[in-house]
A and B are shown apart, each in its own frame.
Chain A
Amino acid sequence: MAHLQELEALTKALSGLGIDEQSLISILGKSDPARRTTFRQRSTHFFIEDERSFERWDDHRINLLRLEFVRFENALVLWAMHPWERDARLVHEALTLVPQSYRVILEIACTRSSEELLGARRAYHSLYDHSIEEDVAIHVTGSERKLLVALVSAYRYEGPKVSEDAAKSEAKLIAKAIKNGDKKNPIDDDEVIRILTTRSKPHLKAIYKHYKEVSGKNINEDIEAADFILKETVECLCNPHAYFSKVVDEAIRNDADHNTKKALTRVIVTRADVDLKGIKEEYNSLYGVPLTPKIDDNVNGNYKDLLLALMTRD
C-alpha cells in the first residue's frame, strides 16, 4: 500500500543522522488531514495517545528532532570557519558543556600539526580572553589534568630525525608503566607523560614500533585493560586514521548518544582538507566496507549531501 510505503519513508526521513527534508516536504507537505492523522497514529515513537483523545508529539522526540534539523546548520558553520577558530571553539565547548568531553581535547591536541595547534591557541586567546592551557587546567581535574595541559601546550619538533636508541628505551619505560597499571595509573607516571607530551610524532611512531619487540604485544592490546584516555592518546598520536575511523563508525551506529553522533560532523569537517582519503582507506580495511556508501545509507537530507560533498572532492 502506498500509505505503508509513505509511512516507512517518513519514518526513515526522521531517523538516523540529519533529516530528509525533501521527503518530508513531498509526503507530509502534500498530505491531507486524514493522511496526517494516520501518520500520527502509526508513529507511536513520535506521538503518544493523550487522555483527551488526540495524538500528541512526545516532547523528548521534538527535542531530539531539533538536534537533527540543526545538524546541517552546525556542519556548515563549522565548515566555513577558519580551522584555528574551529579547533578553539571545539575545545572550549568540550570543556564547558556537560558532560565534559576529554576525547575532543585529546583529539585536537594530538592529531593537529604543531603549527595548527599553535593557531588554535592563538584563536583561543581572541575568542575567550584566556589561554587554552589556563582553561584546561581549571576545568579538568584528576589525573587527566597533567596529561591534557601538557598535550595542548606541546609544540613538537616536526622533522624526521629520530633516535632509535631513545625510542627503544622509552618503549620499555612505557611497557613497564602499563604492566604496573593496577598499582599506579600510567597517566600518573611522569615519564609516560614526558614521552607522550614532548616527543615528536616520528619518534612516537618509532616507540610504537619498538613496543611490540619489547612487550610481545601491540601497545593498544596492552592498554586495552588500562586507561581509556591513555589508549586514545596513543592512537591519536601514532595512528590517527584508525582513531578517526573508529569515531566515525561509532557515530553512525543506531545506539549512538548525542555526543557520539556529533563526532561525525567534527571528523568529516575537520579532516576534509587534511587526510579524509587516508581515513576512508583505513575505515575500509578495518570494517570491510567503504565509508562513503555507509554514510549514504545512514545519513539524511542536506546534512548527508554536505558530508558526501566533503568526502568526494578530489
Chain B
Amino acid sequence: MATLVVPQNVSVVEDAENLRKAFEGWGTNEKVIISVLAHRNAAQRKQIRLAYWDLYQEDLVKRLESEIKGDFERAVYRWILDPEDRDAVLANVALKKSSDYHVIVEIACVRSSEELLAVRRAYHARYKHSLEEDVAVHTTGDIRKLLLGLVTAFRYEGAEVNSRLAKSEADILHDAIKDKKINHDEVIRILTTRSKTQLMATFNSFKDSQGTSITKVLLGETADNEYKRLLRIAIRCINEPIKYYEKVLRNAFKKFGNDEDAITRVIVTRAEKDLQLIKELYYSRNSVPLDQAVAKETSGDYKDFLLALLGKQD
C-alpha cells in the first residue's frame, strides 16, 4: 500500500521544462520541485531524467544537487534515483561513512531476491566493486559473516514450507541462544540461506514451543553487542517489516534533534511500497498520525517534501 499520489496525466517533457524553469532566475522554486517530483513514480522519474537530458544536455540529478541543500537535498536526491541505485548508494554510505550497518540489513532482508540482485548490479556500476567485496573489507568477525550472508543471498521465493524443518531449525536457533552462541555458523546458515516463508514458519514454530518470540528471547538472553542488534534487526525485517519500520520512525522522532537520515530513508524507500501500512500502524501505536509527527519535527522544504510523499495533496 503506497502513499505516493500520482496525477492521471503526466507529461515528462512538461515536467522537465517546469523543473528547468524552477532552476532559472534568482534562487530556486522548491515548490515546483516538490509538486513535480514528489508526485511521480520511479518509472516516470527515470523518464523525466532522460527528457531533461534530451532537452538540455544536462544531468538533472547534478543540477538538483547544486540548486538545493541540506536535508531537503538529501531527500530529493535519494528519491529521484532508481530504487536499486538508491539502495546501492544507501549501502555504500552505510559502509564507508556512517557505519549504520542496520541499513544494509534492511536492504538485504526487506527487498525481494530480484530487487536485491538489482541493487548488487547497480552497486557494480556505480562503485566498480561488488557489494559483498566492500562489505567484507569494511567489517570483520561475526558482523562480517552475518552481513555477507545476507547481501549475497538469492533466496528461493516460493510459498512451500517444510514444517518439520521449521521445527528442527527453530530448535537449533533456540539451543544456540541458550548456549549463548548466537554467532554460531548454524544460526547464520539458517538466517541467510532459507527462504522467507520458511523462516517465518521457523519463527512461528519458535514462538509456539517457547511461548515468546525469538527477538524477545534474544533481547533477554545474551550480552548486548552490535552483532546481536543486527541479528534481531534481520529477524524483524524478514518477519514483520512494517512493525520494524514503524519502530525506526518512532525512535527517529524521539532522538534528540531527530534522526533525519532515518526519517528520510523510511519515507523515501517505502513511499511506493507499504508506507500506507506503516502510517496506519504508527497511528494505532502512537495515537498521532505520522503526518502530524513529521510536520511537528521537521521544517521547511524538507517537511513539505516528506508530507507530499506521505500522500498530502496540494
Chain A residues with CB under 8 Å of chain B are 118, 121-122, 125, 129-134, 137-138, 145-146, 149-150, 153-159, 161, 190, 194, 197-200
Contact = CB atoms under 8 A, between A and B. Distances in A.
B124 A159 contact: yes
B133 A150 contact: no
A157 B149 CA distance: 17
B260 interface: no
Contact of B124 (A131, A137, A138, A157): A157
A155 B152 contact: yes
Nearest to B194: A134
Contacts of B153: 131, 133, 153
Contact of B130 (A138, A146, A198): A198
Q: Which of A122, A131, A158 has the most CB of B within 10 A?
A: A131
A129 B156 CA distance: 7
Interface in B105-136: 117, 120-121, 124, 128-133, 135-136
A155 B195 contact: no
Contact of B185 (A133, A138, A145, A150): A145
A156 B144 CA distance: 17
Interface residues of B, number: 32
B189 A137 contact: yes
Nearest to A153: B152
Contacts of B154: 118, 121-122, 125, 131-133, 153
A129 B132 CA distance: 25
B160 interface: yes
A157 B155 contact: no
Given A133-B154, A161-B128, A146 B185 contact: yes
A156 B195 contact: no
Contacts of A125: 154, 156-158
B130 A155 contact: yes
Q: Which of A138, A153, A157, A197 has the most CB of B within 10 A?
A: A157
A156 B132 CA distance: 8
Interface in B147-178: 148-149, 152-158, 160
B183 interface: no
B158 to A, nearest CB: 6
A129 B130 contact: no
A206 to B, nearest CB: 14
Interface of B: 117, 120-121, 124, 128-133, 135-137, 140-141, 144, 148-149, 152-158, 160, 185, 189, 192-195
Contacts of B136: 194, 198
B193 A158 contact: no
Contact of A155 (B117, B149, B189, B193): B117
Given A134-B193, A190-B144, A155 B120 contact: yes
Contacts of A131: 153-156, 193, 195
A59 B76 CA distance: 75
Contacts of B155: 131, 134
B244 to A, nearest CB: 23
A137 B193 CA distance: 8
Nearest to B140: A190
Contacts of A156: 130, 133
Q: Which of A133, A155, A159 has the most CB of B within 10 A?
A: A155
Contacts of B128: 157, 159, 161
Contacts of B185: 145-146
Contacts of B152: 133, 150, 153-155
Contacts of A134: 155-156, 193-195
Given A131-B154, A134-B193, A155-B124, 13 more contacts: A131-B153, A131-B156, A134-B156, A138-B189, A149-B149, A149-B193, A153-B153, A155-B120, A155-B121, A156-B130, A156-B133, A157-B129, A197-B132
A200 B131 CA distance: 11
Contacts of B140: 190
B130 A118 contact: no
A131 B194 CA distance: 8
A157 B135 CA distance: 13
B275 to A, nearest CB: 29
Contacts of B132: 153-155, 197-198
B228 to A, nearest CB: 20
A305 B289 CA distance: 74
Contacts of A159: 124, 128
A129 B117 contact: no
